[in-house]
Each structure stands twice: as structure tokens, then as C-alpha cells.
Amino acid sequence: MTEIPTVIKIQINQISPNTPTATKKLLLDGKQIISTDQNNFEFTIDSAQDHQATLVIEDIPSGAKTEMNIPIKVNRVDIIGKLIVTPDTVGTDPFTVKFDASTTVINDPTDELVSFTWDF
């Protein structure tokens, strides 16, 4: 995946054996994802790091338990900011300095930078 944030949906169609006491849960980096029906899970990846989803199916009365690890790899290139600072004159103040960040490269060719904000 290359876009942050990204919504991921996991749907469980069938488990075997499917007993009335079997429970299904999904963990993202060890934290449980809440599902309304135990078959559809949805979560948002909002950080540019690798994650791990773990599907756990458990039937407590029989003692059966199965876990499946699903690695989630984020292949996101960071924004490369380039700032060109050019003074109009050299010497003492006051003088004008131009800031140009037009050579900044973003990670998605379909995206565009719409503005820069400077905070001095």
C-alpha cells in the first residue's frame, strides 16, 4: 500500500469447522478491532510503518484455536522537501529574502501540493 491513510476491510466468508461457539476476532498490532458481526472487520492504517493483523478463531469448549498473521507493509516514500533561500541583497537589514519550495517532491504522482506555510 502506498497511500496513508488507507482503510482496510477483511471479510471472513467461511471457517471450518463452524461451531455455534466459535468466535472470530482480528487484532491490529496486538489491539482488537471491533466488529459488529464477527465476519467483517474494518480499520484504518494511518502511519507509514509496517503493521501486523492477526485473525484469531477460537472455540473455547473444544479448546481449538487458530491464528493467522497478515503482514501489512507500507511502501510509502516520504515527501522530500527542498527549500531554496535567496536573498535579494547582501548586507544589513532590511532586505528581502525569497523562499522557494517548488522543487519539493511528493510521494504520489496523482497528488499535488496546493500551498506551503512558513512559520518563523
Q: Is residue 44 part of a domain?
A: yes
Largest Cα separation within the chain, whole Å, is 82
Nearest to 100 by CA among 85, 114, 90, 112: 85
Tens-digit pLDDT profile for residues 58-91: 998 988 899 999 999 877 665 667 777 777 777 7
**pLDDT band for position 30 (cuts 50, 70, 90):** very high
**For 59, phi and psi rounded to 5 degrees?**
-120, 95
CATH number at residue 31: 2.60.40.10
Distance between CA atoms of residues 53 and 28, nearest Å:
4
Check: CB of residue 44 under 8 Å from CB of residue 5: yes
Q: Is residue 53 part of a domain?
A: yes
Q: Is residue 61 part of a domain?
A: yes
Expressed as residue numbers, the domain containing 52 is: 6-72
Q: Is residue 89 part of a domain?
A: no
Stated pTM of the model = 0.58
Q: Is residue 55 part of a domain?
A: yes
**How many folded domains does the chain comprise?**
1
Which pLDDT does position 2 carry in this prediction? Answer: 53
